[in-house]
Structure 1
Amino acid sequence: MSAKKAKETAPQAEEVQADEVKTEAVNTEEAVAEETAAQQEVSEVDLLKTQLEEMSDKLMRTLAEYDNYRKRSQKERLEIYPEAVAQTVTKFLPILDNFDRAMESECADAEFKKGVEMILTSFKECLKALNVEEIEAEGKEFDPNLHNAVMHIESETLGENIIAAVFQKGYKIGDKVLRHAMVQVAN
């Protein structure tokens, strides 16, 4: 019996050993799988962190570009308005010249002349509201930045480079000259 039992226990021992080997293999495979899964999780976390940093960088760049665009647009708007006003006023200056000539001419109808004077006054008030100023010329010293000399005269009474007559008034907005005054200068 003892030999028989030994024979019977030998295969059982082998089975137990085989089961232990299988269990160790399964445990080893599970450990490797867990380690691989942990590494994948770590690499996924690193990947997600990298993607987050890239997206944050893109967002910051986009915000900076938008801020630059906003500032540039605001600057352009501020520069366009005075230029548009200057161009518009320049188109109306010949009309103002005609009203000035109408006021200088003789008129038999006093009411008509008064109406033209009211229109001229209203026109000048509108220009004043837009900060348009008439360039002072007659009796002043000639300034090539403000005046355009079209004639010269010899005069004993006027000093050198003094404006003797104004043929066409000049206008400016602030420091920007809309139209130079057309003048006669004494030598």
Structure 2
Amino acid sequence: MNPETPNHPDPKSVAPGEVEDLVDLNLDEVGEPDLQALADAAASEYKTQMVPEMDLAELGDESPDGERRVDLESALTEAEGQLGEMLKREAELMEQHRRLAADFNNFRNRVQRDIALAVEQAERRILLEMLPVLDNFDRGLGASYQDVETFRSGVELIRRQFLEALRRLNVEPLPLQVGDPFDALHAEALTTFSDPALADGAVAAIYERGFNLKGQLLRAARVVVNRLSDAEKS
């Protein structure tokens, strides 16, 4: 055998079934092989044999991402249902608010009418109480009197009738008399007067009588207050 010639097996001495396993290593005759291409081809063949094709749609339904998608769809459906209920409740509340506003407006109008009617009835009551007094004044002016005392008695009768009408309207005169101490809460001092027969600070004269309405001051009395000098006091 020639030492410079590579030791290649004789094709005639190789069994027929072993031809596919032989690799030609004579780089001088064939040239440098593409190792990357060989590696890619081997990997592709291995992947084709070991990893069969799978249905990605079925895989997606069984993956955690698929479960998360189902949960999100369920939450979205529930949220849409809650939103629908909230919108329905809002519509009911708006309708209730509209009805309450209408009822309040009707109530306010009714109260205003009742107040106006009450004021009108109170005015009518006062006038009906005063008209008989006016009638007696008209009769007194049309009558003839024999003397002044008879005329005075008629006027006194009308005055009592007028006071009785005021009493029915809950109006009472203040119990203030000449000689009573001056009370600034129920009386107004118009001026002063000096009368030694009266105490200092007493009511010397009543110019206008005061009145109470249902226990509250309606009009203060207007009076003259007695003021004594230092000599008169001593």
TM-score (ref. length: structure 1):
0.49
Bigger relative contact order, structure 1 or 2 (CA pairs below 8 A, ≥6 apart):
1
Higher helix fraction (1 or 2) = 1
Rg larger in structure: 2
TM-score (ref. length: structure 2):
0.41
Higher strand fraction (1 or 2) = 1
